Chains A and B, each alone.
Chain A
Amino acid sequence: MQPFGSVCPQHPGRRAGGLRSATAFVSGLILFVCLALPLGAQVPTTAGSAGVGLTPAGGVSPVRDLEAADTPSDRGESATVRWAPPREDTGAGGAVLGYAIQRAPQPEGPFETIGQASPGATRYDDTHVANGERYFYRVVTLSASGDVASPVAGPAIARAQWINTNQWNVFIVLVLLLGFNLYFIEHIRSGRKTFIRKIAGLEAVAEAVGRATEMGRPILFVPGIQDMNDIQTVAGVTILGHIGRTVAEYDSQLVVPTSRALVMTTARETVKEAYLSAGRPESYNEDNIYYVTDEQFGYVAGVNGYMVRNKPATCFYMGAFFAESLILAETGNSIGAIQVAGTAMPAQLPFFVAACDYTLIGEELFAASAYLSGEPKQLGSIKGQDIGKFVGMLSIILGVSILTLADLTGWEPLTRIAEFIQSFWSTELA
Chain B
Amino acid sequence: MKRTIPLLITGIVGAVLVIAYFIPHPPFDSLREDFSIFFDIIAAVAFILGGGNLIKMHGNRVSRREEGWGYSLVTVVGFLVVLAIGLTKVGNPDGFRGSSVTAAGSLFDYAYQFVFRPCAATMFALLAFYVASASFRAFRAKNLEATILLLVAFTILIGRTFVGAWMTSWLPDSLHFLTIPYLAEKIMVVLNYAGNRAIMIGIALGIVSTSLKVIIGIDRSYLGSD
Contact = CB atoms under 8 A, between A and B. Distances in A.
Q: Are any A and B Cβ atoms less than 8 Å apart in their complex?
A: yes
Interface of A: 73-76, 160-164, 167, 170-171, 174, 177-178, 181-182, 185, 227-229, 231, 234-235, 237-238, 241-242, 260-262, 264-266, 269-270, 272-274, 276-277, 287, 290-298, 300-301, 305, 309, 323-324, 326-327, 329-330, 333, 344, 346, 349, 351, 354-355, 361-367, 369-370, 373, 375, 377-378, 381-382, 384-385, 388-389, 392, 430
B222 A326 contact: no
A297 B119 CA distance: 8
B19 to A, nearest CB: 10
A326 B135 CA distance: 11
13 contacts: A75-B26, A167-B22, A231-B211, A295-B116, A295-B120, A297-B120, A297-B123, A324-B123, A344-B207, A346-B203, A354-B135, A385-B209, A430-B24
A173 to B, nearest CB: 10
Given A261-B46, A362-B200, A364-B206, 14 more contacts: A163-B23, A167-B21, A231-B211, A238-B221, A261-B49, A290-B53, A297-B123, A297-B124, A301-B123, A327-B126, A381-B212, A381-B213, A389-B202, A392-B205
A364 to B, nearest CB: 8
Nearest to B26: A75
A326 B119 contact: no
Given A234-B222, A327-B126, A385 B206 contact: yes
Contact of B43 (A260, A349, A366): A260
B218 A290 contact: no
A389 B46 CA distance: 38
Interface string B212-225: 11100011011111
A300 B126 CA distance: 11
A121 B168 CA distance: 47
Contacts of B131: 326
B221 A363 contact: no
B226 interface: yes
Contacts of A384: 209, 212
B196 interface: yes
Contacts of B5: none
A363 B133 contact: no
Nearest to A331: B130
Contacts of A274: 225
Interface string B159-173: 000000000000000
A381 B209 contact: yes
B202 A362 contact: yes
Nearest to A231: B207
A170 B155 CA distance: 39
A309 B213 CA distance: 39
Contact of B219 (A75, A272, A327, A378): A378
Interface residues of B, number: 63
B208 A181 contact: yes
Contacts of A181: 208-209, 212
Q: Is the interface of A mostly helix, strand, loop or mixed?
A: helix
Q: Which of A73, A178, A295 has the most CB of B within 10 A?
A: A178
Contacts of A182: 212
B39 interface: yes
B68 interface: yes
A211 to B, nearest CB: 21
Given A181-B208, A185-B218, A300-B123, A363 B203 contact: yes
Contacts of A366: 203, 206-207, 209-210
Nearest to A259: B50
A264 B56 CA distance: 14
Contact of A369 (B36, B57, B219): B219
A384 B210 CA distance: 11
Contacts of A355: 134, 138
A164 B138 contact: no
B201 interface: yes
B26 to A, nearest CB: 6
A323 B68 CA distance: 27
Contacts of A297: 119-120, 123-124
B210 A326 contact: no
Contacts of B218: 185, 377-378, 381
Contacts of A261: 43, 46-51, 53
B23 A269 contact: no
A2 to B, nearest CB: 14
Nearest to B201: A392
B222 A388 contact: no
Nearest to B18: A174
B190 to A, nearest CB: 14
B21 to A, nearest CB: 7
Contact of A388 (B68, B116, B199, B208): B208
A266 B222 contact: yes
A264 B203 CA distance: 25
Contacts of A349: 199
Contacts of A177: 205, 208
A76 B123 contact: no
A351 B134 contact: yes
Nearest to A343: B203
Interface string B44-77: 0011111101100100000000011001000000
A324 B120 CA distance: 11
Contacts of A167: 21-22
B45 to A, nearest CB: 9
B175 interface: no
A361 B130 contact: no
Contacts of A273: 224-225
A327 B123 contact: yes
Nearest to B212: A181
A377 B29 CA distance: 33
